[in-house]
């Protein structure tokens, strides 16, 4: 009599349990799948990024024309002479009747990057030359059938992808950061002399220009931001953007520090009198110099508002090869802590109780004055503490607690000012790999043993460490043994995930939304140098990588790996249907699957009895799940197929004999949305109990 077992597919990798005891919902091999609250989903794609239209945002329009007198070629920008609407021709114009030479060509254009609405009977121009006349307005995604539509979409994605460029410069990306919804990337210039900050725009990467810095001493009257400073001897002028006092007092006539200047006209001279239009007075201590970022480092940044007013959030960064900096979107101010230029090279940055924290090699952590991120004077509440080893990360774990990581040590800072700051050591043995620590509700990081979570029931104190990666320890050990280096980590809050990325593009994905952590692995096809995340103007989370060849990649975007197919597989444990000693005849396997918006094709192969050579496996068999169904009035028109169910069982007929079975699901596509595997059903008939001799 046939029996059936139903098993949810909800777990991650288990590489340590004996085969007979691996939980049936888990997997024993996986690539490019992730655990979700609905099952196990093939991962999303990634695509190159520079601020221009993303391939994942591809769309097109069909525009009919007549009266054609001049050929329109692929790549031409077509403009409506009356409407001002524009679009780029995806292909040469398709002519269905007439001819260009006869002035009566009629047909249609496929346009992408369309802006505005073309008007019926308006002239269609290329470079101000009329080529044809619009025959109606454009038809959004107006292909005549699904096959043609898919072909157009693929070609638009390819065209958009080709427009997206690398960050100008040389070497790998030094850092990526999101500030006020804008994406910034850091890369050394072509000669490797300095690091350049670029901003992503609708036209691609744009290098940001910085002002100049002028040190002063003998200050007798404070300068104000926005006033004009004039050199008494040189006659040079500039606008004061920032005033940083480093020592002395204005009242004592010995204030010293530096001015951040913009709009400099002329050249300031050493020892000349400086006078401000609003009364500032001091003496130049050197000449003005261009503000630059040092090359060769790793840029790490945080955003914070130290000043209370909503429009004063700023970006603070370190390069590890030069001084820290502040950026407000227009003005970059170097942060000179008072250390010599040879020593003032912080590698990590954080914020605690409205103090800016800078972490250095050797274990020193300097903190700024209270609410004064540019001041490191003790009189303003600045100071220093140490962890005794090179700092590898700084995380604000709560409003009044900040965790500082070293390679083999963890400490935490509490208090609200230099008068009550307290730094205690949590662990003298465990620490965090560089750039592995992020806040995913609690601090999560990787140490020499694996991925750990640092938890506490209070804002500070009573810290406990727990391992998250025990079931994939062989994978972790292989990463360490083969010398792979962590380049960054993401806290993907929308998916309850912690992701850890190595320099070969492997990503450990830890799902934290269940009773236990569930781990899978992505394998990306690029060489990452850094990782970053942030929010766009709408508050949506975004994930980025910098690459060794100068590109910025946005993860969890699109349906391909930057145009290449996503190869994915997942293998079930050896399932014995609750009877490991009973031989069974297997009749069928059903996999309950959500095919996503587009539908999905998978291949399924089955093996029996721990892949016994004497038992023939089931060869890979392809199956297709249709696009996702929807509920009337709750789903978006055109985004699903009306006659399909929410879940589609994929049936695989079997005729195998064995004590157990394991199956692998494979997919390989550059155009399908992610699919989700939620459960499987195995049909079988018990045959006999295997008798084993006693030892």
Q: For 277-286, write each residue's pLDDT tens digit.
A: 999 999 999 9
The answer as to whether 607 is a domain residue is: yes
Residues 259 and 218 in one domain: yes
Signed CA dihedral, 439, 442, 443, 445: sign only: negative
Domain span at residue 70 reads 60-140
Residues 574 and 669 occupy one common structural domain: yes
d(CA 152, CA 399): 51
In a domain, 7, yes or no: yes
Q: Which among 290, 316, 337 is the end of a domain?
A: 290
- 590 and 652 part of one domain: yes
Residue 596 sits in a domain whose CATH number is: 2.60.120.260
Residue 634 lies in a domain: yes
- 320 vs 276, 291, 657, CA distance in Å? 34, 16, 62
Q: Are both 570 and 685 inside the same structural domain? A: yes
Nearest-angstrom CA–CA distance, 317 and 598: 42
Tell me what pLDDT residue 695 has.
41
- Whether residues 24 and 122 fall in one domain: no
Examine residue 554 and state whether it is found in any structural domain, yes or no. no
Assess if residue 630 is contained within a domain: yes
Domain end among 105, 125, 140:
140
Do 365 and 404 form a contact (C-beta atoms < 8 A)? yes
Same domain membership, residue 120 and residue 36: no
pLDDT at 199: 98
Tell whether 67 and 104 lie within a shared domain: yes
The DSSP letter of residue 557 is: -
Name the residue among 174, 153, 198, 197 with its Cα closest to residue 51.
198
φ/ψ of residue 214, rounded to 5: -135, 120
Contact 424, 434 (CB under 8 A): no
Where in 248-354 does DSSP place strands (E)?
Answer: 255-265, 273-276, 281-284, 289-290, 293-294, 300-304, 314-318, 324-327, 332-335, 348-352
Residue 273 lies in a domain: yes
The CA dihedral of 546, 550, 552, 557, to the nearest 10 degrees, is: -100
Residues 16 and 102 in one domain: no
Task: Give yes or no: residues 75 and 37 share one domain.
Answer: no
Are 619 and 654 within one domain? yes
Query: Residue 490 has which token pair?
Result: 């993401």
In a domain, 617, yes or no: yes
Exposure b/e, 232-244, CB count within 10 A at least 16 = b = eebebbbbbbbbb
Q: Identify the pLDDT of residue 630.
A: 42
- Choose one of 140, 156, 181: the last residue of a domain: 140
Indicate whether 37 and 69 sit together in one domain. no
Residue 107 has a pLDDT of: 98
- Residue 515: predicted pLDDT: 92
Number of compact structural domains in the chain: 3
Low pLDDT (below 50) residues in the chain: 458-460, 629-645, 693-695
Residue 281 and residue 254 share a domain: yes
Can you tell me whether residue 243 is helix, strand or coil? strand
Strand-pair category, 105-115 with 86-89: antiparallel
pLDDT at residue number 582: 95
Task: Judge whether 108 lies within some domain.
Answer: yes
């Amino acid at each position: 009599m046939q029996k059936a077992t139903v098993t949810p597919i909800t777990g991650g990798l288990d590489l340590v349990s004996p085969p007979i005891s691996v939980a049936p919902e888990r997997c024993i091999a996986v690539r490019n799948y992730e655990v979700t609250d609905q099952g196990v989903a093939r991962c999303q794609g990634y695509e190159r990024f520079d601020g221009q239209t993303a391939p994942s945002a591809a769309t097109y329009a069909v525009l009919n024309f007549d009266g054609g007198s001049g050929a329109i070629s692929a790549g031409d920008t077509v403009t409506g002479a009356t409407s001002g609407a524009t679009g780029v021709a995806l292909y040469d114009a398709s002519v269905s009747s007439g001819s260009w030479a006869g002035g009566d060509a009629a047909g249609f254009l496929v346009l992408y990057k369309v802006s505005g609405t073309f008007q019926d009977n308006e002239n269609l121009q290329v470079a101000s030359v009329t080529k044809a006349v619009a025959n109606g307005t454009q038809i959004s995604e107006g292909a005549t059938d699904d096959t043609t539509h898919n072909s157009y979409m693929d070609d638009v994605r390819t065209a958009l992808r080709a427009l997206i460029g690398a960050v100008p410069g040389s070497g790998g990306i030094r850092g990526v950061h999101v500030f006020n919804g804008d994406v910034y990337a850091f890369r050394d210039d072509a000669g490797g002399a300095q690091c350049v900050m670029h901003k992503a725009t609708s036209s691609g990467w744009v290098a940001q220009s910085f002002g100049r810095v002028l040190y002063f001493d003998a200050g007798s009257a404070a300068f104000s931001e926005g006033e004009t400073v004039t050199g008494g001897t040189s006659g040079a002028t500039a606008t004061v953007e920032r005033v940083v006092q480093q020592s002395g007092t204005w009242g004592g006539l010995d204030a010293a520090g530096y001015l951040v200047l913009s709009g400099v006209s002329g050249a300031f001279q050493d020892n000349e009198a400086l006078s401000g239009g609003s009364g500032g007075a001091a003496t130049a201590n050197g000449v003005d110099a261009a503000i630059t970022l040092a090359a060769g480092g790793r840029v790490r940044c945080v955003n914070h508002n130290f000043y209370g007013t909503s429009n004063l959030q700023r970006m603070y960064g370190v390069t590890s090869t030069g001084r820290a900096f502040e950026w407000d979107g227009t003005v970059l101010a170097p942060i000179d802590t008072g250390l010599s230029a040879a020593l003032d090279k912080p590698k990590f940055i954080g914020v605690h109780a409205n103090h800016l924290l800078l972490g250095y090699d050797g274990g020193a952590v300097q903190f700024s004055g209270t609410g004064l991120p540019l001041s490191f004077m003790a009189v303003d509440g600045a100071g220093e503490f140490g962890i005794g080893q090179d700092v590898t990360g700084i995380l604000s774990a709560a409003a009044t607690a900040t965790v500082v990581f070293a390679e083999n040590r963890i400490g935490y800072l509490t208090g609200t000012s230099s008068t009550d700051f307290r730094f205690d050591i949590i662990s003298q043995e465990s620490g965090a790999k560089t750039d592995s620590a992020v806040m995913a509700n609690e601090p999560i990081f990787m140490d020499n043993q694996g991925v750990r979570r640092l938890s506490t029931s209070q804002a500070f104190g009573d810290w406990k460490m727990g391992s998250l990666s025990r079931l994939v320890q062989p994978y972790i050990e292989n990463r360490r043994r083969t010398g792979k280096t962590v380049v960054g980590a993401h806290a993907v809050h929308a998916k309850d995930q912690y992701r850890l990325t190595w320099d070969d593009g492997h990503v450990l994905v830890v799902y934290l939304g269940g009773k236990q952590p569930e781990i899978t692995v992505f394998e990306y096809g690029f060489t990452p140098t850094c990782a970053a995340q942030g929010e766009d103007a709408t508050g949506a989370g975004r994930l980025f990588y910098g690459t060794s060849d100068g590109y910025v990649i946005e993860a969890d975007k699109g349906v391909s790996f930057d145009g290449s197919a996503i190869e994915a597989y997942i293998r079930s444990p050896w399932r014995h249907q609750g009877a490991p000693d009973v031989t069974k005849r297997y009749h069928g396997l059903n996999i309950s699957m959500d095919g996503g918006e587009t539908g999905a094709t998978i291949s399924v192969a089955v093996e029996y009895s721990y892949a016994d050579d004497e038992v023939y496996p089931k060869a890979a068999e392809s199956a297709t799940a249709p696009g996702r169904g929807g509920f009337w009035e709750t789903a978006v028109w055109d985004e699903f197929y009306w006659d399909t169910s929410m879940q589609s069982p994929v049936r695989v007929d079997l005729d195998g004999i064995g004590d157990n079975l394991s199956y692998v699901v494979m997919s390989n596509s550059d155009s399908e949305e992610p699919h989700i595997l939620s459960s499987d059903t195995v049909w079988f008939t018990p045959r006999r109990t295997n008798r084993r001799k006693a030892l």
